[in-house]
């Protein structure tokens, strides 16, 4: 009893003392804060380019995901990354030998950030090595490839996730919450503008073999995907028109500008623009029977800015890739369900729509979709 009384007296004394010693209070709070002790997803990044670097930097602030390995065709980059991110030699691979990751217990998932045309074969090899696949958008070049990836991951019993970072972005999620709560009424119309002026004509993004197309594969996909998560339905038809002014930069099969339209089962329509020839196009607008949401920028690295008929969206900005990787760790390790799917089936839907957009451009027909 005595010791209990002593303990209570000490507690009381420290509680009384706290308000008068604010610095002590802050330090104490810090000491009491428990470090995260739950499961951590150990990730290797494949393709150490611009986006891979962005993901690696963002993962420094993750709680549930950690960079533990690399796959690269450039030995000097491997050395740099080892020094910068503390990646041990035994977790470094190249494109010839990365199947050996199968026997590496320190890597749970590989995040593919290589040019689009390489995603399919790489993802299938990762799946066969028994590791989870996180793949950048577009998941593949077309729906046939995408389906092969989904099947391979299913057979190998590993998860396939696509880098749809906007599906975890706070302002975007607030608009989706409002729509689900009926605050916009019935969604009637979506406008998506996605584009930038592309530079260096020799880059892989302008090479049909590596990119699989042009602006649509790279940036137009944001309006394709955004139309679906903003309206909350999958389109049932698509029409599309292409404009090409620079036939030298944008060769056969590399689209410069495409306008496209969707119809949705609930009666809403969408009107979108995908381009490599106009700067700063990054805008979403949703109109419903009772209200609206507009976001500009809507899909850039942020901060995203937006407002609805009820006022400004004020959710704080957090580095998209940090949130994404923590959430993806939750999906893979704890079976967490995201508000908007980021799995292979979700990536496949966008590929089916993009296939239909290209078919509509080629034929001039209205293409029916069954997703």
Nearer to ligand NDP, 159 or 205 (CB): 205
What is the spatial distance between Cα 283 and Cα 288, in angstroms, rounded to a whole number? 17
CB of 235 to ligand NDP, least distance (A): 22
CB of 221 to ligand NDP, least distance (A): 8
Segment interacting with ligand NDP, rule: CB under 6 A, options 48-56, 57-65, 179-187, 252-260: 48-56
| Binding map of ligand NDP across residues 130-169, x = CB under 6 A, - = no contact | ------xx-------------------------x-x----
Catalytic one among 120, 131, 137, 352?
137
| Residue 222 known to be catalytic | yes
Catalytic one among 85, 164, 222, 229?
222
The pair of three-digit structure tokens given for residue 291, joined into one six-digit string:
């209200």
Q: Which of 48, 62, 150, 281 binds ligand NDP (CB under 6 A)?
A: 48
Count of residues that bind ligand NDP according to CB under 6 A: 22
Binding of ligand NDP by 115 (CB under 6 A): yes
What is the spatial distance between Cα 69 and Cα 82, in angstroms, rounded to a whole number? 9
What is the spatial distance between Cα 328 and Cα 333, in angstroms, rounded to a whole number? 8
Distances (CA, A) of 172 to 155, 193, 194, 300, 316: 33, 16, 16, 12, 11
Q: Which of 113, 257, 287, 298 binds ligand NDP (CB under 6 A)?
A: 113
Residues 39/71, Cβ–Cβ less than 8 Å: no
Segment interacting with ligand NDP, rule: CB under 6 A, options 69-77, 172-180, 241-249, 255-263: 69-77
Residues 109/44, Cβ–Cβ less than 8 Å: yes
Q: Which helix (H) or strand (E) element contains residue 128? A: helix 119-128
Binding of ligand NDP by 350 (CB under 6 A): no
| Residue 85 known to be catalytic | no
* Neighbour tally for 164: CB within 10 Å: 24
Q: Which of 196, 136, 141, 188 is nearest to 161 (CA)?
A: 136
Upstream peptide bond of 13 is cis (omega within 30 degrees of 0): no
Summarize as ranges the residues that interact with ligand NDP (CB under 6 A): 47-52, 72-74, 77, 113-116, 118, 136-137, 163, 165, 204, 210, 218
Which residues does the annotation mark as catalytic? 137, 222
């Amino acid at each position: 009893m005595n010791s209990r009384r002593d303990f209570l007296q000490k507690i009381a004394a420290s509680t009384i003392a706290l308000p008068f010693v604010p610095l002590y209070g802050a330090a104490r709070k810090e000491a009491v804060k428990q470090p995260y002790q739950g499961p951590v997803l150990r990730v290797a990044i494949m393709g150490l380019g611009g986006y891979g670097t962005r993901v690696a930097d963002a993962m420094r602030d993750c709680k549930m995901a950690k960079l533990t390995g690399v796959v690269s065709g450039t030995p000097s980059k491997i050395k740099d990354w080892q020094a910068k991110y503390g990646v041990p030699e035994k977790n470094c691979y190249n494109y010839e030998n990365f199947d050996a990751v199968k026997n590496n217990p320190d890597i749970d998932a590989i995040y593919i950030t290589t040019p689009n045309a390489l995603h399919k074969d790489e993802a299938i090899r990762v799946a066969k090595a028994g590791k989870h696949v996180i793949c950048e958008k577009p998941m593949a070049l077309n729906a046939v490839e995408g389906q092969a990836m989904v099947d391979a991951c299913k057979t190998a019993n590993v998860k396939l996730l696509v880098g749809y970072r906007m599906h975890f972005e706070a302002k975007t999620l607030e608009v989706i919450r409002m729509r689900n709560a009926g605050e916009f009424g019935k969604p009637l119309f979506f406008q998506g503008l996605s584009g930038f002026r592309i530079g260096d004509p020799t880059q892989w993004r302008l090479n049909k073999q590596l990119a699989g197309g042009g602006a649509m594969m790279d940036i137009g996909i944001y309006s394709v995907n955004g139309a679906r998560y903003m309206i909350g339905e999958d389109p049932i038809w698509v029409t599309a028109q292409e404009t090409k002014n620079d036939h030298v930069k944008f060769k056969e099969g590399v689209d410069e500008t495409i306008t496209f339209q969707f119809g949705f089962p609930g009666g809403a329509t969408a009107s979108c623009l995908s381009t490599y020839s106009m700067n700063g196009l990054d805008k979403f607008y949703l109109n419903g029977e009772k209200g609206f949401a507009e976001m500009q920028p809507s899909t850039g690295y942020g901060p995203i800015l937006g407002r609805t008929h009820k006022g400004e969206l004020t959710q704080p900005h957090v580095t998209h890739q940090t949130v994404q990787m923590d959430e993806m760790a939750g999906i893979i390790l704890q079976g967490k369900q995201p508000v908007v799917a980021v799995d292979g089936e979700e990536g496949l839907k966008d590929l089916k729509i993009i296939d239909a957009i290209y078919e509509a451009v080629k034929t001039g027909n209205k293409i029916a979709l069954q997703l």
